[in-house]
Structure 1
């Protein structure tokens, strides 16, 4: 009998824990298209990597599978009554790391300082932090550069390591993933999370085993005693594994197979609007591009060329033909759940090839030019197919595209190292606030912010406004500043927004879960029927 996955609340899942005995706990077999890029918890702020890491490591504050913030390694948090620049966190006692070490405030201080270091991919989330200090074994103080009322929102992705284990194993420094560095922390783990890394063969299989000393036993269902993760890039193979019962749960049901999964006996399909926008980035700041046929000039630096490109991008056709209705076309690089999104920003221009051709002619590129488009082929829904579709669209205005589609493990370093001129990227916003987008995607890449800004765009006025968002305590004034920043960002056209993804999960009827709009799975919340 086919049914849809019920959207039960986290509270119900927690209650269900008392009815699930250890004897009933069992193996959950999980597959998705993408593999984790590394096991270093601070090296890559990237969806599939973070999902695996958050089974093993934990933050102070967790967003449960309905996106609601709840206590993790911190029991509670509040601004200091004595100093508005200080947040005070009371930490959970009795927590142990997988290696048997006792968790305390010093581990958090170490982990946060590590996450703020140069090679960390999470430092933008802590850009307002001046100091992290232990005020006692289980009391933490975070000092910010000016009051930051939204700081807790930024902490749900900062995972905590054991300081002694990291020091003993030469893992104090964050792996430099973009440089291809291999480190101990990239291959080994020691967290406080519900699951212990038992074995791992990258790109083949990762086995996680329930941690028998986990502090959350009795508070969460923890129905899976073992989680076996298998990355299966090929969509047909992934669906076949689900339909045959080889796996119990897949995160990314291909759009062409939604009906097959929905109508299959013993399976359920869950669908929701995902907190993720897909767009194309343009290298607007370089004097000359590397992967084009225009010598001594950068055609993407001309606003008229960028405007012509957005007028040629047929978002509706991609939604209908490539995505089979499983996308929401958009004109802005932020998804709807995020503070700062408005229907007006979301509007996108109608396709007007004639006007686009006129703009190309006016810019001096009436005969067009050739450029390389860098696209992942295993990260977003139909990513390579989308890129193939836009090749024909841009050809209408004389832009000849050489498509380079690579696995994300090769694609993302191109962005990190500034080796791409035109690329696809998807962006989720776990903080649900536009500051996250501006810090990573629009701020000048300066070693502290802008780590995912591969466009070479830089605007001093925008940088100043972005930096002030973290310390503006008047939320009405802050929202007005966000609106101004979006107006400036939209005018620049350094990104060509395409659509917001629709999220589809397929799961055996035996398992009960909530589909998370961030596509973040936390197996401790999974229960069984």
Structure 2
């Protein structure tokens, strides 16, 4: 059986699971969501499966010292106080940050949240010799929090963190350090494999009430949530992995689920005609191919190859394939962003220019450019990767004579690949990766593009190294005014466009389809969504 058929068969099994869960789903205010993930994200308090894992099995259950502010859909999400009421950067040593913890918060198991719990969780992620060290969660967290040098307890309600470099954006990294109850690990016999089935205890508005490996996870409202104004309206949320888009669509139309992530674009008009709600919206997202720029086993050390491919892509044709649920990407940021800058290259579909640049680098009809891309079958922010990549494969072959092969894998494996040193392990035979990426703040730019962010310290898998980028980013980190920060941000972004480490393809418009019974949902400009006000009629 082919890999594609295996994926479809698994997805059909997931749809049968959705039907078999009918008794549970008929309980009052139980929202059934079909995820794009091929498996239930890990439930120990640091979910895998990318930001879809964080969206559904992260922030609803476990929280960080800083949290995303999802209250205003008119602008990209910023930060708000979370388990820390406030924080400040030391005026004498700007590498030092102090976080003042929120009083009166308890975990779902009734144990107190305090500085000791914070340090315990920090050791869980950042101290490999700690008894509670969790390798999987550590790998994810360290790749997102790339500049942490040290941390310590000041008093019962204050902790201090020190960074390796001055970084005004550090709170945007702290937002990814989720807190779980130390007692839940003790109750599991100090075994992380058992923690996720207890269930674990966070501090969020929902708690994990049931988990069936590879099948489903159930969240229940936590009536003791510390913010009385933000207690959930739903009784339960049932999360079901369904990686195949048409399977999710069939489950929604059959009434087996109430909400699906990423409906098939060609089904959107009929869904709307049938009375389903379909939401779209711009958010900080990029769907690229990463270029491996280092080593002898890659053609991408030559900037002309990378620039040429960016001119070979028919982005508008791909947007048409997606029925308008995406917009062309010609940089890491969108052209409307104040920090996009004024790069020399404004990429568009210009096959003649693309072929000319490739020819300058030595690739032509007699010696075509060939490379292999690792892609996923589905996943968080991955949109519809199989048909999209097939379109690109044909587009590049017809427009510029480029020969592309694919290595198809699971989304979780692709995420591991982005944190794997090039030339080793699962990436030994590929020259490009196709993970989706956030572009929400300079902290993300740091871990994807700074020299210090090469795996396993971040997501700079291409090995991007640009002196002008590094200098501009240093100015950004130490900027004293918003105007100075934006100017430096723009200069850094210009280098990403003109010396591209990625093939910039499209930005997702984040489509979701829901039953008309779902109320209270607002699509915000973030990878994460607020489930607290959502209800069912």
Regarding TM over 0.5, the answer is: yes
1:482 maps to which of 489, 493, 518 = 489
Alignment of 1:168-179 (within 5 A): none
- 1:281 aligns to what SS in structure 2? strand
Pick aligned residue for 1:139 from 149, 158, 171: 158
Q: CA separation in 1, counterparts of 2:433 and 2:264?
A: 22
3-state SS of 1:28 partner = strand
The 1:77/1:306 distance shift into structure 2, 3 A limit, reads: closer
Residue aligned with 1:54, SS: coil
Query: Which residue matches 1:60?
Result: 65
Select the residue among 200, 216, 219 that pairs with 1:189: 200
Write the distance in 2 (CA, Å) between the matches of 1:102 and 1:339: 43
Question: Counterpart of 1:503 in 2: which secondary structure?
Answer: coil
Asked if 1:405 corresponds to 2:394, the answer is no
Task: Indicate the residue corresponding to 1:284 in structure 2.
Answer: 293
Alpha-carbon distance in 2 for matches of 1:142, 1:170: 30
- Match 2:360 to one of 342, 359, 362: 362
Give the whole-Å Cα distance in 1 for the aligned partners of 2:164 and 2:403. 48
> Is the contact made by 1:256 and 1:324 (CA closer than 8 Å) also made in structure 2?
yes
CA RMSD of aligned residues (A): 3.1
- Shift of the 463–201 alpha-carbon distance from structure 1 to 2, 3 Å rule, reads farther
Specify whether residues 204 and 130 from structure 1 end up closer, same or farther in structure 2 by C-alpha distance, changes over 3 A only: same
Q: Which range moved further: 79-88 or 494-503?
A: 79-88
What residue number does 1:259 align with? 269
Matches within 5 A, 1:116-515: 116=126, 119-123=138-142, 125-144=144-163, 148-166=167-185, 183-184=193-194, 189-216=200-227, 218-265=228-275, 267-288=276-297, 298-320=298-320, 322-335=321-334, 340-342=339-341, 344=342, 348-366=346-364, 367-379=367-379, 380-396=382-398, 397-417=400-420, 418=422, 419=427, 420-429=430-439, 432-446=440-454, 449=457, 451-459=458-466, 462-463=469-470, 466=473, 469-510=476-517, 511-515=519-523
> Is 1:523 aligned with 2:534?
no
Call closer, same or farther: CA 1:481–1:254 in 2, change over 3 Å. same
Counterparts of 2:385 and 2:83, CA distance in 1: 36
After superposition, the C-alpha distances for 1:187-221 in whole angstroms (9 at most, x for unaligned) are: 663211222222223432111122343223x3124
Task: From the superposition, tell whether residues 445 and 86 of structure 1 become closer, same or farther in structure 2 (CA, over 3 Å).
Answer: closer
Give the Cα–Cα distance (whole angstroms) in 2 for the partners of residues 132 and 249 of structure 1: 41
Partners of 1:329 and 1:523 lie apart in 2 by 29
- Give deviations 1:199-251, integer Å, cap 9, x for gaps: 223432111122343223x3124111111101122222212222232212223
Q: Is the 8 A contact 2:438 2:527 kept in 1?
A: no
Distance in 2 separating the partners of 1:194 and 1:307: 46
Equivalenced residue count is 481
Give the aligned partner of residue 39 of structure 1. 43
Tell me the CA shift for residue 186 of structure 1.
Answer: 6.5
Distance in 1 (alpha carbons) for counterparts of 2:414 and 2:170: 31
Find the residue that maps to 2:436 and give its secondary structure: strand
Contact 2:45 2:62 (C-alpha < 8 Å) held by counterparts = yes
Secondary structure class of the residue paired with 1:198: strand
Distance 1:167 1:340 in 2: 47
Give the conservation status (yes or no) of the 8 Å contact 2:292–2:463: yes
Alpha carbons of 1:478 and 1:203: their partners in 2 closer, same or farther (altered >3 Å)? same
- Residue correspondence of structure 1 range 88-127 to structure 2 within 5 A: 88-116=98-126, 119-123=138-142, 125-127=144-146
Local SS of the residue matching 2:180: coil
Point out the more displaced range, 350-359 or 388-397: 350-359
TM superposition shift of 1:271: 1.8
Give, in whole Å, the separation in 1 of the partners of 2:323 and 2:266.
Answer: 7
Quick check: 500-509 or 68-77, which moved more?
68-77
Distance 1:193 1:186 in 2: 16
Name the SS for the 2:220 alignment partner. Answer: strand
- How far apart are the structure 2 equivalents of 1:422 and 1:368? 17
1:50 to 49, 54, 66: 54
Shift of 1:255: 1.3
Instruction: State the distance in 1 between where 2:215 and 2:103 align.
Output: 37
| Alpha carbons of structure 1 residues 158 and 87: separation in structure 2 relative to 1, 3 Å | same
Q: Which residue in 1 is equivalent to 2:5?
A: none
Aligned with 1:273: secondary structure? coil
Once the two structures are overlaid, the 10-residue window that deviates more, 481-490 or 375-384, is 481-490
CA distance in 2 between partners of 1:258 and 1:286 (Å)? 44
Counterpart in the other structure of 2:7? none
The 8 Å contact of residues 171 and 183 in structure 1, kept in 2 or not, is answered as no
Give the TM-score of the pair, scaled to structure 2: 0.80
TM superposition shift of 1:329:
0.5
Deviates more, 1:325-334 or 1:187-196: 187-196
Q: Per-residue deviation at 1:372?
A: 1.6
Quick one: distance in 1 between partners of 2:358 and 2:483?
41
Give 1:327 shift: 1.2
